[in-house]
A and B are shown apart, each in its own frame.
Chain A
Amino acid sequence: MQEIVTSGLLAVVIIMAVVLILFAGRKNSQGMTKKQRTMLIRILIAASIMFVLQFISAENFAKLDTYLFSSAGRWLRFALYLTDYLIIGYDILKKAFKGIKNKQIFDENFLMAVATIGAMALAISANGDYVEAIAVMLFYQIGEWFQSYAVGRSRRNISDLMDIRPDYANVERNGKLEQVDPDEVGIGSVIIVQPGEKVPIDGIIAEGTSSLNTSALTGESLPRETKVGDEIISGCINMTGVLKIQTTKEFGESTVSKILDLVENASSRKSKSEDFISKFAKIYTPAVCYSALALALLPPLIRILFMGLSADWGVWIYRALTFLVISCPCALVISIPLSFFAGIGGASKEGILVKGSNYLEILSQTKYVVFDKTGTLTQGVFEVYGIHHNEIDNQKLLEYAALAESASSHPISKSLQRAYGKELDRNRVSDIQEISGNGVIATVDGISVAAGNDKLMKYLEIEHIDCHQTGTIIHMAIDGKYAGHIVISDIVKPHSKDAISALKSAGVEKTIMLTGDAKKVANQVSSSLGIDEVYSELLPADKVSKVEELLNMKLGKAKLAFVGDGINDAPVLSRADIGIAMGAMGSDAAIEAADLVLMDDDPMKISKAMKISRKCLRIVYQNIAMALGVKFICLILGALGIANMYLAIFADVGVMIIAVLNAIRALFTKKL
């Protein structure tokens, strides 16, 4: 039975190896490295020899004895198997020897060398089954090969996904387009970006209109329209028109370089799970080696000394060798960083930049999310929200208001002008009288118009109607009569409400909003969004102390995240367990201060990021549990003599393959 299985497996290996050499090997650039190719050929040769040797039994070799000297067949058989063994395993033996010389004994090379040499020795003494030792070495090498191939492949794939690095910039010289290294382009030079090319350097559009694909930066697939005078960020892809861009930054300071730097170094900040595994691996391997030694020596000694039985050295040594095969920690060690790397890669595809594996871990434990209001949950731009109790047409009222306020540069007057939407003829306005903090009185088309707050109305002794809505209220009086009021407020982002409920369903226990705004406004916003707690009228310094207070209140392992726009809340971002900056495209300060950067300003991305982190961590724990579980089960089975070396090597290689494939899952984020 065992022979059939082994032959079948060998046949599969041979076919796979041939196919891989023929097809994947051809395209050298994206296929295998030279090392992997050589290894694959060695695997192929060793597997083929073994496949053939399998069919020649020891009895057939024994027939040689009659022609030559006695036991010649036995020696020939050994020599053939030994050759095969050396073909597949010589490098392992060499490395193991070097390891011993360098006093770095307990690595997997040593384990494999001892286990297979031991198995060979047992086989020589019995003229028995050499296949086992070679098969173990062969499958170990196949596992190693697969690991290096799969990891290399996925590493490249993930890196490609994040590859937004522009290779060149087009500069016009003597009327001709020239491709130059983006590093060589100085501030203020004009670069040309053709349709289909990446914008290499941040700048301002000097000529041309186009639509831009920002999906590499923000994960947003809708194209963004741009025109002359607009700021343009490197990393976008120009889709339709030729653009001339005057650069405002050097390449090294441009958004794309900053992001690349951040993403590439992200996996260098190691998470607790990674630290745990690397510490664990350091203890695990020596521990298993000593147990193997104990397993080889103690039971036989006990049997001889105390039980009066035969020692059965062979059996126990075999079990100990099986132990050694199981003890390789590689599956465990590889799958953890790979999972995090894939998670970070998947997140960056969505426009979420994570600055380190550790932050992905913290994010997955986040139970409290603290928001800044303006610019985070609301758009941070004041807009006309409603017009009430007016006696005249809405548009007419807006026109009067915009004209009366036309001299002011206050955001409110700007929002009125924006809402009016047409060009203002300043000549229609005269006698502008600004009453500080209250509003303006002006003459428009010869009619007196007053626009301002309730104090202005009281001052003019005009009866006004209070508004039930929150926001900034502009009461209007035309020709001495009350004409209604305009409500201006900072509008809530369209996704804010969904974002809060998505966070709740993603397992966040409490959402909290901090704002410097008036209590009434804050309460209205928070209740409309479904936020649990709100603290209003805070100064910037109060926000830090409030977050500290909240940090002290939270229980156990729960983590607190702060979400801000990254511009004026850097201290709070760094004080929280994890700081999330939104709408950071082009803002260096935000990228600098935050641990997690959302490239666009959609609050839905927060829950998305949390889901990605949860998935990633789930995969990490699955891999740890699976790898450890299978290894421990095999250790026990091996010690009891139920598991043989085949099972042991499949436990090792199989677990690793499953772990690597599982880790790759972290890359897929679309359905979250």
Chain B
Amino acid sequence: MKKTYKIEVDCANCANLMEDAARKTEGVKAATVNFMTQKMIVEFDEGKEPAAVMQDVLKACKKVEPDCEIFL
């Protein structure tokens, strides 16, 4: 299952950090952050509930870049 989320992040390096953080989150199979279009594309592991996983992703992202926002 793949979902696209709108995000807000100011700098490109922070976007890379967010991508890393999202990838390392449990339940995320793959994640790409597109800084230019301000989007995050997340592919979830089988049987995981996207909404729950995204909460963790948001938490992880906030940790690396307090200024970022993911519109869930």
Residues of chain A whose beta carbon lies under 8 Å from any beta carbon of chain B? 95, 98, 102, 104, 107-108, 144, 147-148, 151, 155, 158-159, 264-265, 267-268, 270, 278, 281, 329-330, 333-334, 336-338, 341
Contacts and interface: CB of A to CB of B under 8 A. Distances in A.
Given A147-B11, A148-B10, A148-B11, A333 B63 contact: no
Contact of B12 (A102, A104, A268, A334): A334
Contact of B67 (A95, A264, A330, A341): A95
A563 to B, nearest CB: 28
Contacts of B13: 107-108, 278, 281, 329-330, 333-334
Nearest to B62: A102
Interface string B28-40: 0000101111110
Given A148-B10, A278-B16, A334-B12, A265 B36 contact: no
Interface in B33-72: 34-39, 41, 63-64, 66-67
Contacts of A265: 34, 41
B12 A330 contact: yes
Contacts of A147: 11
A48 to B, nearest CB: 25
Q: How large is the interface on B (under 10, 10 to 19, 20 to 34, 35 or more residues)?
A: 20 to 34
A3 to B, nearest CB: 32
A270 B37 CA distance: 13
Nearest to B60: A102
B37 A333 contact: no
A338 B13 CA distance: 12
Contacts of A95: 66-67
Given A102-B63, A148-B10, A268 B34 contact: yes
Contacts of A330: 11-13
A34 to B, nearest CB: 12
A111 to B, nearest CB: 12
Main DSSP-derived SS at the B contact region: mixed
Given A268-B41, A329-B13, A104 B64 contact: yes
A268 B16 contact: no
B12 A264 contact: no
Nearest to B32: A268
Contact of B37 (A102, A108, A264, A329): A264
Contacts of B63: 102, 104
B36 A338 contact: yes
Interface of B: 10-14, 16-17, 19, 32, 34-39, 41, 63-64, 66-67
Contacts of A333: 11-13, 16
Contacts of A107: 13-14, 17
Given A102-B64, A265-B34, 14 more contacts: A95-B67, A107-B13, A144-B11, A147-B11, A148-B10, A264-B39, A268-B41, A329-B13, A330-B11, A330-B12, A333-B11, A333-B12, A334-B11, A336-B12
Contacts of B19: 278
Q: Which of A108, A281, A333, A338 has the most B CB atoms < 10 Å from its CB? A: A333
Contact of A98 (B16, B32, B66): B66
B35 A337 contact: yes
B11 A267 contact: no
B16 to A, nearest CB: 4
Contacts of A104: 17, 63-64
Nearest to A267: B36
23 contacts: A95-B67, A98-B66, A102-B64, A104-B64, A108-B13, A144-B10, A147-B11, A148-B11, A151-B12, A155-B36, A158-B36, A264-B37, A265-B41, A268-B39, A278-B19, A281-B13, A281-B16, A329-B13, A330-B13, A333-B11, A333-B16, A338-B12, A341-B36
Given A144-B11, A147-B11, A330-B11, A267 B16 contact: no
A148 B38 CA distance: 13
Instruction: Across the A-B interface, give the 3 residue pairs with the lowest CB-CB distance, nearest first.
Output: A334-B12, A341-B36, A333-B13
A341 B14 CA distance: 18
A348 to B, nearest CB: 13
